[in-house]
Amino acid sequence: MKKILILLILMVLISSYFGSASANLSERENIHLDEQLETLDFTHTVFAEECTATWCPNCPFAAEALYNIYESGDYPFNYVALVDDMNPIAKDRNKDYSFGFYAIYAFPTVYFDGGNTNLIGRMMTVDATEDEYRDIIEEEGQRNPNQPLIIESSVSWDGNAKITVTLTITNEGSKPYFGKLRSYVTEIESRWANNDGIPYHFALLDYAINQFILLMPNSPKTITGIFDGNDDHEGNIYEDISQDNIQVISAISHWVPQFRDGYQSGQYNQRYLRFVTDQSTAAIPE
């Protein structure tokens, strides 16, 4: 009887030990996962351009997935929606990737960091699409830019649908940097809705700045641009924009084009030109 009692006590102790060890292991795994996320060291703020159209049945997956990632705050990440059928300026930007020679095969197409990586279409679910985008963002975030760049951005609301954008850009590298600078004026909640009737987020209206720029090492350069909603923006007028619904997203891309293969499937053989984006930032009017 005594032996049985001792054996039962030992079994309880062993069970208690392994239960505790299992709990501690689970806690350590969770801590490790948290540390992995915290130590994910991005070299720059990743930038994505969402090529989309209001008639596109697959585009809402991309729109929701990108917005979920942005709202999570998990990464230094900005994106712009280029609504092809509603804005001629967005359509022209979509065509920039094909240089006018190659077809845009499908919507949605999301170009990450100026087309360094792209993804056409969507996965079976929004969650799966989001997971795919997250993998790309994390990969892009580890990429070494052509030169380390810092962009400081301020946006002032001048009233009557007019804003002024001021950027100070510093090349912290050792070599000169020549690239294209764009400041995308976007509506946080767009006037245009996707195929599910849900407004886009960060849909491009027009640029406040769209020019080439030469940055010498450790020599900050300040550039100012103006956006006036009362002007004619290739057929659209945005006199009704509101201060609390505007975000200006600025991105700078290296000037050297690189020919890339994209989506490959049967008769489709995507070709496009990438101009790698090395830094981006965002600011709202004050």
Domains detected in the chain: 46-141 (3.40.30.10), 149-256+278-283 (2.60.40.10)
Query: What are the tens digits of pLDDT across the range 143-170?
Result: 999 999 999 999 999 999 999 999 999 9
pLDDT at 6 over 50: no
Neighbours of 240 (CB within 10 A): 9
Average pLDDT over every residue of 222-250: 98
Task: Say which range, 51-60, 97-106, 222-231, has the weakest mean pLDDT.
Answer: 97-106
Query: What are the tens digits of pLDDT across the range 89-141?
Result: 999 998 888 755 545 557 899 999 999 999 988 899 999 999 999 999 999 99
- Distance CA(88)–CA(248), nearest Å, equals 19
The percent of residues in the chain predicted with pLDDT above 90, rounded, is 72
Average pLDDT over every residue of 37-48: 81
pTM (2 d.p.): 0.84
Q: Are 119 and 137 in contact (CB under 8 A)?
A: no
Q: Are 274 and 258 in contact (CB under 8 A)?
A: yes
Closest CA to 78 of 50, 36, 109: 50
- Give 120: exposed, middle or buried? Use CB within 10 Å, 0-12, 13-18, 19+: buried
* Token reading at 225: 């641009």
pLDDT at 5 over 70: no
pLDDT at 21 over 90: no
Q: Are strands 177-193 and 199-215 parallel, antiparallel or unpaired?
A: antiparallel
pLDDT for the residue 104: 55
